[in-house]
Amino acid sequence: MEEACGVFGIYAPGVEVASLVFDGIFALQHRGQESAGIAVSDNVSITVVKDLGLVTRVFDKNTLQSLSGCIGLGHVRYSTAGKKDWMSAQPAYRSAGEVGFALGHNGNLTNVEELASLANMLPGVFTSDSDIVAELISQRINFLQSQQVPDTKDSFESNDTTCVPEENDKNNLLLAALFDILPRTQGAFSFGLIDANQLIAIRDPNGFRPLCLGKLPSGNNSPTSYAIASESPALDIVGADFIREIQPGEVLVIDEAGLRSYFPFPKEQIKPSLCLFEFVYFARPDAVLCGSEVHATRLRMGMHLAMQAPADADLVIGVPDSGVPAAEGFAMQSGIPYGQGLVKNRYIGRTFITPNQKARTDAVRRKLNPLKENVKGKRLVVVDDSIVRGTTIRQIVSILRDVGATEVHLRVSSPPFKWPCFYGIDTPSREELLAAKYTEEEMMDILDVDSISYLSLESLFAAVNVGRNGFCDACLTGNYPTKIPVTL
């Protein structure tokens, strides 16, 4: 049920937003290819369309036209084996009496059992962690509505008395329910929510997954319009200007009265831990994270790698797409020419997602084909962003050797991936993680390479260039910033 996804939301009075939401989630397609969905509110009710498959498969002109309204929420979902059914596609929708709302989630909750029992949901009844949260919110809204005069005071004050609702939010049932539920949810969550009249953006107290806020240009008399997105390129594409990142632990309400920001989590829970792999692999190269364009960060990773682990070689190649910027950086720093060694079929999604080993191996072959003349007779530096199971790189080395590469020096632009992630990246168990099982010597043998080097954690932080604090590096160090659901 683990998932790492993309979320996009928009609040734009007077504008039909469905096609903008489409553009937003299309820009986030790399974060999830399993299902896509859009919910739109016309200030009265919410309509949701979602299905399995890519954004362009789920939506066409007609479906978008059927989604009328000026508040929208979109989602793309990524998961591995397990539930890939329609039911777990998002946004999740609930109607709780007077209040209908839709929720989109990027991340993974670590106390699912506890939350499910809190919601009185039997094992197997819920389809995903996100679905449980939607259910809890809906139950809380129902409870509030069951009171003669809904008393939101308890909800607002349940955890942090400094979090007093502003006048506009005294009767905001969705927000009151969130204040009650959120402090009980553990793990990684960047949420987008809409109801008939508002857009809400939430980042967990660790801020594991990114989420940013943008503003759309508006005419003199029209109200200000805002958008939220997992990554900044989705804002660029709809013409929104990046304003800022949502803060870890922040709940941001956007409605006709403007923006209001709350911090309903206990202060001691706030511990910024942005996923380092957003920089290494996940985010688009044109995304801006912590003030840096990710592409530049990846170039620096390659440069540090070249300083740290030089190689005697004729050509530097990158494993498309995510290994390419680091390969360029390696070439720049080392003076060894950069070239292409592999051509990628652009119409194939990320191979990591394919469920079994045989299918994953075939997928790599189908996806990458060598440039024989470039590779033949050369001593190569091959740069990839990460090794997880080793499937990708093992195939690639064999492809390159088949067409006459004389030496292969593998350089990885992140430290060894040794620990599973519980925060929204579906990683295999420790037994399947190559670097957890084998020494570098053994890996040279398994992968059939002449040398292997990883970027050190120090150098990775140096490349990211915003200090050492505020990041999660658990899959590299085993230092989990929160309680995890299993003992390793």
Which residues have a catalytic role annotated?
A: 5
Q: Which is nearer to Mg ion, 89 or 388 (CB)?
A: 388
Is 278 a binding residue for ligand 5GP by CB under 6 A? The answer is no
Is 475 a binding residue for ligand SF4 by CB under 6 A? The answer is yes
Burial 221-246 (b: 16+ CB within 10 A, else e): eeeebbbbbbbbbbbbbbebebeebb
Q: Which is nearer to ligand SF4, 10 or 276 (CB)?
A: 276
DSSP, collapsed to helix, strand or coil, labels residue 288 as: strand
Who contacts 411 (Cβ-Cβ below 8 Å, separation ≥6)?
Answer: 305, 306, 309, 311, 326, 330, 381, 382, 383, 452, 453
Among Mg ion, ligand 5GP, ligand SF4, none, the one that 472 touches (CB under a kind-dependent 5 to 8 A) is ligand SF4
Q: Which is nearer to ligand SF4, 253 or 474 (CB)?
A: 474
Among ligand SF4, Mg ion, ligand 5GP, none, the one that 423 touches (CB under a kind-dependent 5 to 8 A) is ligand SF4
CB 185, CB 112: distance < 8 Å: no
Who contacts 124 (Cβ-Cβ below 8 Å, separation ≥6)?
Answer: none
CB 196, CB 100: distance < 8 Å: yes
Is 413 a binding residue for Mg ion by CB under 5 A? The answer is no
Q: Which is nearer to ligand SF4, 8 or 423 (CB)?
A: 423
Locus of tokens 């080793």: 390
Q: Provide the token pair at 15.
A: 């504008």
CB 329, CB 300: distance < 8 Å: yes
Strand arrangement of the beta sheet that strand 315-318 belongs to: 315-318, 379-384, 407-412, 451-454
Q: Which is nearer to ligand SF4, 193 or 421 (CB)?
A: 421
Who contacts 441 (Cβ-Cβ below 8 Å, separation ≥6)?
Answer: none
Given 141, 387, 399, 463, the residue binding ligand 5GP (CB under 6 A): 387
Q: Provide the token pair at 366.
A: 């189908």
Stretch that binds ligand 5GP, among 213-221, 233-241, 245-253, 385-393 (CB under 6 A): 385-393
- Residues in 195-234 at the binding interface with ligand SF4, rule: CB under 6 A: 208
Q: Provide the token pair at 203.
A: 């980042």
Q: Which is nearer to ligand 5GP, 194 or 393 (CB)?
A: 393
Stretch that binds Mg ion, among 163-171, 305-313, 321-329, 462-470 (CB under 5 A): 321-329
Is the omega angle on the peptide bond into residue 286 within 30 degrees of 0, that is, cis? Answer: no
Given 28, 227, 326, 472, the residue binding ligand SF4 (CB under 6 A): 472
Given 128, 206, 322, 427, the residue binding Mg ion (CB under 5 A): 322
Least distance in Å: CB of 5 to Mg ion?
19
Q: Which of 236, 192, 190, 194 is nearest to 215 (CA)?
A: 236
SS (H, E, C) 22-77: HHHHHHCHHHCCCEEEEEEECCCCEEEEEEECCHHHHCCHHHHHCCCCCEEEEEEE
Give the whole-angstrom CA distance, residue 298 versus residue 477. Answer: 20
Q: Which of 373, 27, 87 is nearest to 233 (CA)?
A: 27
- Residues in 401-460 at the binding interface with ligand SF4, rule: CB under 6 A: 421, 423, 425
Given 22, 352, 419, 471, the residue binding ligand 5GP (CB under 6 A): 352
Least distance in Å: CB of 62 to ligand 5GP?
33
Stretch that binds ligand 5GP, among 21-29, 252-260, 379-387, 459-467 (CB under 6 A): 379-387
Is 90 a binding residue for ligand 5GP by CB under 6 A? The answer is no
Is 279 a binding residue for ligand SF4 by CB under 6 A? The answer is no
Locus of tokens 């170039």: 299
Following DSSP, what letter does each residue of 229-271 receive, concatenated? ESSHHHHHHTTPEEEEEPPTT-EEEEETTEEEEE--S-GGG--
Among ligand 5GP, Mg ion, ligand SF4, none, the one that 390 touches (CB under a kind-dependent 5 to 8 A) is ligand 5GP
CB 94, CB 101: distance < 8 Å: yes
Q: Which is nearer to ligand SF4, 273 or 391 (CB)?
A: 273
Least distance in Å: CB of 350 to ligand 5GP?
5
Q: Provide the token pair at 228.
A: 């939220």
Among Mg ion, ligand 5GP, ligand SF4, none, the one that 174 touches (CB under a kind-dependent 5 to 8 A) is none
By DSSP bridging, strand 274-275 and strand 471-472 are parallel
Among Mg ion, ligand 5GP, ligand SF4, none, the one that 208 touches (CB under a kind-dependent 5 to 8 A) is ligand SF4
In DSSP terms, 109 is beta-bridged to: 187
Interface characters, 302-341, with ligand 5GP (x: CB under 6 A): -----------------x--x-------------------
Q: Which is nearer to ligand SF4, 13 or 481 (CB)?
A: 481
Least distance in Å: CB of 136 to ligand SF4?
24
Interface characters, 412-451, with ligand 5GP (x: CB under 6 A): -----x-------x--------------------------
The contact set with ligand SF4 (CB under 6 A) reads 208, 275-277, 421, 423, 425, 472-475
The contact set with Mg ion (CB under 5 A) reads 322
The contact set with ligand 5GP (CB under 6 A) reads 277, 281, 319, 322, 350, 352, 384-393, 417, 425
